[in-house]
Structure 1
């Protein structure tokens, strides 16, 4: 470098380069050109296109464990091309490279400038590297163990962040196995039968480890007495990081133990750390963790009237394993995989385990599926005594004589004192996304209930934010994810706002044993599924529907009793039509009886069927699937399109008998081929019965029933036919306690004889006598879920 405009600025520049303050401020005209000169010099150095690397060399130790005389660590530097770390030239050699340093695959002009510039920059980041510049030319240097430790602690991260290549022995890296670390070994108390008791606090014992080796207190004290963070141990150098030593509580080597809640201890073992301290489990607790990750098969109760598919058997065994441990479980299988039957099998197991000592379980669900639960238990586990807790005459005294109590989320809040006074055996939340807001009354009331085992069923355990996961886990395993504010600050924000993949990985490790989710597309599941799954969706009536239903029944039965032959048949068919319209929606009935469609009022909140249809459509759309909704009534199809268009904020089309052929073809093509098309297509049963290929749909919803299996199957086959590559889930909406449920039961009983018994649609009903007809259409006591 040239001498520059003058020597008056040289001391100030030297002080800025080597002193504590890195600021150089030109003071007069002679020093005004110094910044430009330095910039030109830096540009020359950059033009050489070299990278600087540093290597820390560890001194050998003699076999008896003592260090060689005055052990020093070596530090040397090299330069090389920017794009190839294999080409390395010692700085001593590069310094002598002349105008151009030339190698076989690269060359660097002004190598001495590049070396000096790079070493000076490195020394600014870690001043102890001045040792490389101590002589007349750059050369390797020597450090004491204390200086080497300072380099490992401070210099290495700073230099690497600045883009320098720093090579240190792998075992001395931050993750290396020659660093002494504080560690907690957790152990769980045992019951008399030798099983782990997770209802009590777990013990945590502090340890000092070196790789896989656990040091005794005496060994650690001997190393610590040497006074340096980098000390010899046997034939190797090890690090006693003061930050690690500071983790140890006073008296750790005198039997001091930590006492940790089970949920916090489980999270620590599953993630491998507790507040940054590595954690390991003792033998008994390790077996618990292994059971959580790989639940052993469990025997299915013999009184379950169902054959579980392999994936369902695994889900049942998983529930049983967590139940035996007293740990909550979220069964989050995809829609249609049978969460309910797995839960019912588990409820049977709980009853058998109780023996003669009866303690009821509680199922909390949306109003729209309360009937589903009652019918599914009657179907799969008829020996379970079920008490539906709803309506005006609900009586907590009945709990004592039941195996399962079923209620709604509305009543969970309203009757929280009565429900909270019972110690339930098993507490199940169906559609558990209902408690996704941890501040809601539902979530608070659910957390306030007492149960030996808690289960949640949800196809969408997390819909929008991780706060929903916290709420779910706080119900299932209280304390697992820590306090909410801390979870938000340390977990949710880093993941949601900054995409912290490591934090997401640790969160998954912590919650995955308590959350089981299988999709219909999973290879281990899809081979177990039938091509077509059919299920009834039982829906309650609203108070408005029940009032209209009773009015229609009373009015028509009185007239039918006085009529005969053709007139009687006509009145019966008229009554059936009106009742089906009421079961669909009061608005459809009002339109059919002369009301103006624009004056029938809002649609939401007035029909149990519509509410259940909304829930199904929401889940289908959230899963990026498509559905066909069949109805035999044009008026109901129009109402559905109007309502679902508002719900989904996009046009939902209606394909019916009056649709022109050209438009009909367009609707089919759009549904089958266009990504932007509505995921829902409403189809009239007659128009959709033949000639349509709608295999893109994976769900079929029969909003109302034709009561002719052949016609319903023909409509279902619009989706389930050749060309369908995925399984089809068929939902048949049935109102509870009405003629719909009773006729559906008869159809199920006579399915194989459907053509001869009920295959003619509704005509057979007209042949019933007055008493049989009254029994068929009279509204059941369980038709309406009041006070929910």
Structure 2
């Protein structure tokens, strides 16, 4: 349905808002639309995707996985200007919101068949430089992708429609007088119905509950996160140092006799991926993964979701806890230090808190948390069975809602390397984080070298 709707809009040169719930495949539907346009010979110019910086890696990964035939060009980074010379050769161009107004002149020298604005709530204020730049992009069709087309007031809905169908809801002043005031201040139902009828053909919104018959009971999604610049620098410094040290150890002692040093080196890299403050409390680099988590939570909680967040590091849970407090988000917490496990479980199950922070070792088994319909693995657990057990706190008998499982993986890091190794060598995880005597049989010197490669 989503693809057919997008193709209909494309055929008639219309814009639209794809407003499906988080996890229902807005990215995939977008890629399928671009692929179909190319297959039909209608992709006269590249399609442009504009997204938050944190989602660039995710778009790249999804395009590689589902539409490898599309020629991709990512316009990102400090040395991006020469990329504009090859835009016309691409099928799909990906860039980020912060770069849009800086690169507007270069974009205006191009032509785009379609422009997709992911997490389009970033454009809800029409007065910002980014919103103004988005409106000036040379695109035949514009599609907004957002699970939250309106977060605070109807003015945000107007802003989205002014982007995708300029003038369709009149100018801001007329819209305010004709719709916002009567609906928001006077509760005018007829104006509300009129506005609803007007936007309905150009907005497709489906909730997880509506799509349940088409979904498996459990949907697993890998969310790729790009480290911020300071994190990258720190990660590379530690990686290069450890790579040299570990190679020397392997040559001198072999894998079996280097376990402690290897695990310590891996721990440092994993900590940087989660949050540099885990490695050094004085570190000010910040965490792209924590930022991404908070963006996800905002959207999931807006949709009424109940979320479990697992981490292996109790110190990471403490950092998440601090961030949730600052954002005014209620939560429960369960770690090895929690003596009364029943009370936080009861409070979460009763709906008193929408978020449950759980350390994997303390709460990975033996809990029934069927109130949750979303599980987030903040840091990957290299033993798939242990991760599965944790997920099954929510996905179990008594669960009457589809469950969405997100795994946050930092791009180009040890997290991605071990995932790739897992697929090739299922014993690796048990060796790394399981019994010590399994280590040498599970991991080889070649495997270790791959983990520390750039």
Contact 1:572-1:766 at 8 Å conserved across structures: no
2:344 corresponds, among 667, 681, 686, to 667
What's the counterpart of residue 2 of structure 2? 315
- Give the Cα–Cα distance (whole angstroms) in 2 for the partners of residues 671 and 429 of structure 1: 35
- Give the Cα–Cα distance (whole angstroms) in 2 for the partners of residues 636 and 477 of structure 1: 44
2:324 corresponds, among 633, 639, 644, to 644
What's the counterpart of residue 176 of structure 2? 488
Deviation at 1:766, TM superposition (A): 8.0
Superposed, 1:441-590 pairs within 5 Å as 441-522=129-210, 525-563=211-249, 564-565=253-254, 566-590=256-280
Listed as ranges, the gaps of 5+ residues in structure 1 are: 1-313, 592-598, 780-788
Work out the number of aligned pairs and report it. Answer: 443
- Give the Cα–Cα distance (whole angstroms) in 2 for the partners of residues 625 and 556 of structure 1: 41
- Give the Cα–Cα distance (whole angstroms) in 1 for the partners of residues 207 and 440 of structure 2: 42
Q: Does 1:738 align with 2:413?
A: yes
Listed as ranges, the gaps of 5+ residues in structure 2 are: 434-438
What's the counterpart of residue 626 of structure 1? 306
Contact 1:549-1:582 at 8 Å conserved across structures: yes
- Structure with greater contact order relative to length (CA < 8 Å, sep ≥ 6): 2
Residues 406-432 of structure 1, C-alpha deviations (whole Å, 9 max, x = no match): 110001121111122211011000000
- Give the Cα–Cα distance (whole angstroms) in 2 for the partners of residues 447 and 353 of structure 1: 28
Residues 565-605 of structure 1, C-alpha deviations (whole Å, 9 max, x = no match): 355332221111110000001111114xxxxxxx555xxx8
Q: Calculate the aligned-residue CA RMSD, in Å.
A: 1.9
What's the counterpart of residue 403 of structure 1? 91
Q: Does 1:767 align with 2:443?
A: yes
- Give the Cα–Cα distance (whole angstroms) in 2 for the partners of residues 478 and 765 of structure 1: 63
Contact 1:573-1:766 at 8 Å conserved across structures: no
Deviation at 1:611, TM superposition (A): 1.1
- Give the Cα–Cα distance (whole angstroms) in 2 for the partners of residues 760 and 531 of structure 1: 31
- Give the Cα–Cα distance (whole angstroms) in 2 for the partners of residues 632 and 368 of structure 1: 23
Q: Does 1:388 align with 2:74?
A: yes
CA 1:638–1:350: 2 relative to 1, 3 Å: same
2:333 corresponds, among 623, 648, 654, to 654
User: Which has a greater percent of helix?
Assistant: 2
Instruction: Give secondary structure in 1 for the equivalent of 2:369.
Output: coil
Contact 1:365-1:407 at 8 Å conserved across structures: yes
Contact 2:46-2:114 at 8 Å conserved across structures: yes
Contact 1:358-1:403 at 8 Å conserved across structures: no
Contact 2:88-2:110 at 8 Å conserved across structures: no
Contact 1:423-1:451 at 8 Å conserved across structures: yes
Superposed, 1:23-172 pairs within 5 Å as none
- Give the Cα–Cα distance (whole angstroms) in 2 for the partners of residues 358 and 321 of structure 1: 17
Contact 2:120-2:144 at 8 Å conserved across structures: yes
Contact 1:332-1:518 at 8 Å conserved across structures: yes
Residues 116-171 of structure 1, C-alpha deviations (whole Å, 9 max, x = no match): xxxxxxxxxxxxxxxxxxxxxxxxxxxxxxxxxxxxxxxxxxxxxxxxxxxxxxxx
- Give the Cα–Cα distance (whole angstroms) in 2 for the partners of residues 640 and 629 of structure 1: 9
What's the counterpart of residue 121 of structure 2? 433
What's the counterpart of residue 436 of structure 2? none
Instruction: Give secondary structure in 2 for the equivalent of 1:681.
Output: strand
Contact 2:113-2:141 at 8 Å conserved across structures: yes
Residues 634-692 of structure 1, C-alpha deviations (whole Å, 9 max, x = no match): 11111111111211x155332111211xx21111111112x4x2211110011111111
Contact 2:431-2:442 at 8 Å conserved across structures: no
Instruction: Give secondary structure in 2 for the equivalent of 1:364.
Output: strand
What's the counterpart of residue 684 of structure 1? 359
Q: Does 1:335 align with 2:22?
A: yes
- Give the Cα–Cα distance (whole angstroms) in 1 for the partners of residues 343 and 39 of structure 2: 57
CA 1:503–1:358: 2 relative to 1, 3 Å: closer
> TM-score, normalization: structure 2?
0.93
Deviation at 1:358, TM superposition (A): 5.3
Q: Does 1:724 align with 2:414?
A: no
- Give the Cα–Cα distance (whole angstroms) in 2 for the partners of residues 650 and 446 of structure 1: 32
- Give the Cα–Cα distance (whole angstroms) in 1 for the partners of residues 443 and 5 of structure 2: 51
Contact 2:50-2:118 at 8 Å conserved across structures: yes
Contact 2:45-2:112 at 8 Å conserved across structures: yes
- Give the Cα–Cα distance (whole angstroms) in 2 for the partners of residues 341 and 447 of structure 1: 24
Deviation at 1:454, TM superposition (A): 1.0
